[in-house]
Amino acid sequence: MAVERVKGERPEKGKALVNYEEKVFPDHKANPGEKALFLVHTVPYEGSVAGINMLTAIRCKRKGYDVSVVFYGPASGIPVYRGWPNVGEDGYGAGIQLYPNLVERMLKEGIKVYACRFSAAALLGLREEDFIEGVRPIHPTDILDIVIEHHRAGAMIFSTWTV
């Protein structure tokens, strides 16, 4: 018995696969003084969680929010200088500088970026000097306190974990 297959045209380069122009919800902006906090706990370069969080943080900043991003756990290895064969170089191809470039973009746009010095040192062997300039090292107990501070301010809090 032959199975009938659904057929269609092959997608052409430059043509849209979906209707990317339709927006369902209004383009909300922040009210004066509104904050957003992003807590990122993920393994660097293992999936898209960190990249999506950084891009969303940038979008929130552009909508007028006072934005803070905290990298902790293995994510403390994201906002650091890296490269191959030299710092800042992409070595064998694009990708090595993806996260450092996004961190630098966040900093340039006025986003406050923090990284846990405990997880950086204890888990990854990183020093504070390894953090990209502008990234503020914090004590591990600061993580709960920044959450409390943002909760009390009525902030949007994005918390993502991967293991």
Which residue ranges form the domains of the chain, and what is each CATH number? 35-161 (3.40.1260.10)
Residue-wise pLDDT for 107-160, tens only, equals: 999 999 999 999 999 999 999 999 999 999 999 999 999 999 999 999 999 999
User: What's the pLDDT tens digit per position in 16-51?
Assistant: 999 999 999 999 999 999 999 999 999 988 889 999
Cα 8 from Cα 142, distance rounded (Å): 55
Whole-prediction pTM value? 0.90
Q: Encoding tokens for residue 95?
A: 């990708």
